[in-house]
Structure 1
Amino acid sequence: DIITQQTSPMGYTPQTTHTIVIPPSAALPTFNGNLSENPRQFLIRVKEYAETINHWNDQALLNGISQFLRETALEWYCQL
């Protein structure tokens, strides 16, 4: 059961619920490596997304950055 309940001496049982917001896949920041894309904006968006949605630190983001890359950018990354 995801909900944790604790009973106080008075018999009152507080209920704790947590809401997890999962954004639509369209909200996932991606970078294709096209000249029309701004890599700095992508890095800002992907860092915010990783921290807010996945609770990743910088090291986790570096380890998982490839899932945000597409097309030419992913091909470049795979050559590293």
Structure 2
Amino acid sequence: MKILNRAVELKKYVAIVVVIVVIAAAAVIVVVVVVIVVVVVVVVVVAVVVVVVVAVAAAAAAVVVVVVLVVVVVVVVVVE
């Protein structure tokens, strides 16, 4: 009878350990998923920032070209 009680007690401890291991594994999976989501969000934000910077640079370059053309036209008109 004593051995049977020990076996039942041991099964209880094994079940507790299994539950703890399953919870730990689930926590690790959740952390990995959160890290992946954060990395994806960071990559998307960086891509958006790069696109905005390139667009602003292109707009600035266009403004510079227009200003240079206007100056050239004014100089040509004044010289003539």
| TM-score, normalised with respect to structure 1 | 0.22
Taking CA–CA contacts closer than 8 Å with sequence separation of 6 or more, which of the two structures ends up with the larger relative contact order? 1
Please state which structure has a larger fraction of its residues in strand.
Answer: 1
| TM-score, normalised with respect to structure 2 | 0.22
Q: Which has the larger radius of gyration?
A: 2
